[in-house]
Structures are given as C-alpha cells and as structure tokens.
A = this chain, B = another copy of it.
Amino acid sequence: METARRVFRSYGFSPIDTPALEYAEILTGKGGDESDKQLFRFKQGDRDVAMRFDLTVPLARFTAQHLATVGTPFKRYHIAPVWRGENTQRGRYREFVQCDFDTIGTDSNAADVETLLVIHDLLVALGFERFTIRVNNRLILNGVLSKLDLLDQSVGVLRALDKLAKIGADAVVAEMVERVGATEAQARQVLELANPNITLDQLQTMLEGNEIGLLGVSRLRELFTAIATAGIPAERVALDVSIARGLDYYTGTIYETFLGDLPSIGSICSGGRYDNLAGLFTKERLPGVGASLGLDRLLAAMEELKLLGTQATPAPVLITQFDAARLGDYLRIGRALRAEGINAEVYPDVKKLGKQLQYADRKGFKLALIAGSDEFATGVWQIKNLGNGESQTISEADLVKTIQVLLSK
C-alpha cells in the first residue's frame, strides 16, 4: 500500500477518503439488486445506513457532491476497506481492502495511456519483472457486432465467447447460432476477435466503414505508440480483443494484468474507461478511466514469488541496551540514525545480549549496535551484521556513515 500510494502520488493522483457508512439508498442505487451487493445494512438512529461494498459508488457520490471544489480533471486514489456479507473462503473475506485510482472528467486518450503507465510503474515498483498488461477497447467489439448487426445481442454473444477456453470454437459457434440467432459466418467472424495473434491492422480492415470500431482501433494505436515513446518495454503490453470486463460499465479502453510467473492467479490489476461515472447523482456527464489493484491476489502472488520481505520490522537497525544509565546515549544514537533517514529501534529492556539478538533475528533486523561500559569508555560502538554474523568496532564519529555503507550492500 505504501508503494501504491507513492506511485499514485508520483502521477499527481490525490488521496481521498469517504465514510465507511453511506445512506443505504446511495449504495442500492436505482435498482433493487441489494442482495447482489450483500450489504451490511442497519438503522443508526432513524438513519438507514449501510457499509460501502466498493469504492466506485462512494467515488461517484463524492465527485458529484464536491465537483465544484475538486474540479476536473479530478485524479484520485483511494485505498480503503469495503464490506460484503459473503461466505468467506480462501482469499475471500467479508472485509477486504480495495485500491483504486481514477482520472475523472476527461475523454482524452492521454488519461487512458497514463492509466496503463501507472499500472506498469506500480508493478515494477512492487518488484515484478515479468507481467503483461492486456488492453482492449470496447468500441472494437461494438464496431464488429454493429457491422454484423449483432449489437443488440452483445450480451449473448459475449456470454458464448467467454466459454471459448472451456468448450472450444465449434461449441461457441453453435451456441451463437442457436441462442443468439447469428449465422455461422457471423459467429466465425466474432470468434476472430478471440484470435490471440490478431493485429490492429487486421481489426482496421475488419472494421472498415464503422466509425465507432475504427475509433477504438485508433485509440489503441495511439496508446501503443505513446507507451513505446514513454519507455515501456513492448513485451509488457499486449492487445487482447477478447477481454470485456463487465458489459455495462466499461465503454472504452480495458486493462487486465497477468503475471508471467503466475498467470493462473488471474488479473491483478484491472480497469477501463467509462462514459459516465455519476449519472445517478448529477446531470453533469463525468467520463473517466481508472483501474483497481487486487491487493489480496497481489499479496498471494508476492508471497508465492518471494517478493515479500521477511522483515517484521520497518527498521533495519536494532540498538541493543546494556546499561540502563546510558539510555540517553542509546536514544541519541537512534535519533542520529533517523536524522539520516535510517530507521532504528532501541531495545527497551536491559537483557542478556543473546535474548536481544534473538529478538533481532526473529524480527529480521539487519544490523545490531552494541555498546557497554568498555565501548562507552573508549567512544566506540560494535556493529554486528546479523546476516553474516560479522562484527566490527567503529568510533562513534564514523558510526552513521559505516551503517549507511553496510545497509546499502
């Protein structure tokens, strides 16, 4: 989360927070599909309230309400818990943290391109090297379906297409013919979209004369050109016309992100462009684009790929304590290290060195500082490298510098 915050901020996204509780009517929206959302809903006094089940509805409410203050483009990130009354299972909890970022109030493709850059830089900052951001644009699909006169059947078409991996091409074609009323030729053309080797040129040919579809192609073309110039390695971004991500919400660019070393875990960062964020709350049209980092999946992946440190302390240096009368000196050295940006903890009790080093090992400290009466008498400190067990004796004047060098190794 610290890394995500840092990357979001580096792109100019500001943090927002909204209350955990919203009026229930805000969360249920127009529809009566409350049970789908598995709301935690209750009366607080005479208020009918519920705990937010995602960060999107609160964002819509917040943006509509504070539009005059925040203005557009409005770039925000929000990392916060949401609640759903689900049955818990491995990787699914009733309370879990969502991590969203969005750019609201612009139709510009620049925001779509930047969204991809943020996803890319975020994964690199987290320590991933092998990953693919798959991109699509819903306009392409709409264009193809519209050319085939199947736009009204898009739900059924996509439902069939989604089964491709499971039931194979022929069965998908059969389903489109039977249930959607497509001809076999139409079905085969739709199936072409799932061809992993399809190119933007081929799509452009397929979509000739269809303005909407061609807009999708040209926006993706611009995206690929811009990210290459911006320095994103080509192998980390791939066209995938088969991804759709929810039929009603996304209307333009779509992103899904898969780990090269762990594709089976699914997309760890997904999102897309939408036409209107807050239609329920304001008449002002608010187009936007954003993505959501799947923290639970991500953590599972980082654990499996050993990208999570074993440190259980945010401090690399433990200052052991030998002589209670010297507490001020231990604390003074701690502050001297912190002043140079080195996190340091002073062990609170005067215990046997073995006990203190055992604590240091368990927590994953890198260095331990040791000073008793001999050291104080001569103005030196012992530095014990907990990685290789080596010790050295250093004058206090050189202590901070030496520790900086040791930690940079």
A32 within 8 A of B: no
* Bound CA span A106–B324, Å: 14
Contact of A314 among B14, B329, B359 (CB under 8 A): B14
CB-based contact A315/B345 at 8 Å: no
Q: Which residue of B lies closest to A7 (CB)?
A: B338
B residues less than 8 Å from A121 (CB atoms):
335, 338
Contact of A10 among B10, B44, B114, B344 (CB under 8 A): B344
Contact with B along A101-125 (1 / 0, CB 8 A): 0010010111101100100010000
Residues of B within 8 A of A15 (CB): 314
Q: Does A19 contact B (CB under 8 A)?
A: yes
The 0/1 profile, CB within 8 Å of B marked 1, for residues 2-21 of chain A is 10010001111111000111
Q: Does A397 sit at the interface, judged by CB under 8 A?
A: no
B349 in contact with A106 (CB, 8 Å): yes
Q: Which residues of B have CB within 8 Å of A318?
A: 12
State how many angstroms separate the Cβ of A16 from the closest Cβ of chain B.
11
Q: How far is the CB of A352 from chain B (nearest CB, A)?
A: 14
Q: Cβ of A343: which chain B residues have Cβ within 8 Å of it?
A: 9-12
> With contacts A12-B343, A113-B331, A331-B117 known, is A348 near B108, CB below 8 A?
yes
In the assembled complex, the Cα of A19 lies from the Cα of B9 at a distance in Å of 26
A321 at the interface (CB under 8 A from B): yes
| Cα distance, A2 to B334, chains bound together (Å) | 21
Distance (whole angstroms) from the CB of A229 to the closest CB of chain B: 3
The answer to whether B113 and A227 touch across the interface, beta carbons within 8 angstroms, is: no
Given the interface pairs A315-B10, A315-B12, the reply to whether A230 lies near B349 with Cβ below 8 Å is no
Q: Are B328 and A110 in contact, CB atoms less than 8 angstroms apart?
A: no
Residue of B113, B332, B345 touching A231 (CB-CB under 8 A)? B332
Within 8 A of B (CB), among A84-142: 85, 94-95, 103, 106, 108-111, 113-114, 117, 121
Contact B226 A349 (CB under 8 A): no
- Least CB distance from A138 to B in Å reads 19
Contact status A83-B21, CB under 8 Å: yes
How many Å from the CB of A326 to the closest CB on chain B? 8
Q: How far is the CA of A127 from the CA of B66 in the complex (A)?
A: 29
In angstroms, how far is the closest chain B Cβ from the Cβ of A220? 13
A222 proximal to B (CB < 8 A): yes
**Could you tell me which residues of chain A, from 311 to 331, have a CB within 8 Å of some CB in chain B?**
312-315, 318, 321, 324, 327-331
Nearest B residue to A289 via CB reads B348
Chain B's closest residue to A120 (CB) is B335
Q: Does A407 contact B (CB under 8 A)?
A: no
Report the separation of the CA atoms of residues A83 and B175 in the bound assembly, to the nearest whole angstrom.
52
Does A81 sit within 8 A of B, measured CB to CB?
yes
A114, B331: Cα distance in complex, Å: 8
**A2 contacts which chain B residues (CB < 8 A)?**
5
Cα–Cα distance between A195 and B315 once the two chains are bound (Å):
41
A226 near B328: Cβ-Cβ < 8 Å: yes
A71 within 8 A of B: yes
Name 7 interchain pairs, CB-CB below 8 A, sorted by A: A9-B314, A10-B338, A11-B343, A12-B344, A71-B362, A114-B348, A226-B328
Nearest 9 pairs between A and B by C-beta? A229-B328, A12-B345, A42-B42, A9-B314, A230-B331, A226-B328, A12-B315, A111-B348, A108-B348
